[in-house]
Amino acid sequence: MSEEAPTLLPRHVAIIMDGNGRWARKRHLPREAGHVAGVAAVRETVRAAVDMGLENLTLFAFSSENWKRPKTEVGALMGLFRRFFNSDMDELVAKGCRIRIIGHRGRVADDIHSMIEDAERRSVANKGMNLTFAFDYGAQEEIVAAARELARAARDGRLDPETITPELFASRLFTSALPEPDLIIRTSGERRLSNFLLWQSAYAEMLFLDTLWPDFGRADLAAALETFSQRERRFGALNSESAA
Active site residues: 18, 66
Phi-psi region of 195 (alpha: psi -120 to 50; beta: other; left: phi over 0): left
DSSP alpha helix (H) spans, 70-196: 71-94, 110-123, 139-155, 166-170
Which phi and psi (to 5°) does residue 163 adopt?
-95, 0
Which phi and psi (to 5°) does residue 27 adopt?
-105, 10
Distances (CA, A) of 90 to 12, 41, 53, 84, 86: 23, 18, 19, 11, 8
Quick one: 109 exposed, middle or buried, by C-beta within 10 A (0-12, 13-18, 19+)? exposed
Q: Which residues contact 185 (CB under 8 A, 6 or more apart)?
A: 13, 14, 15, 16, 207, 208, 209, 224
Give the H/E segment covering residue 189: none
CB 13 within 8 A of CB 197: no
CB 82 within 8 A of CB 62: no
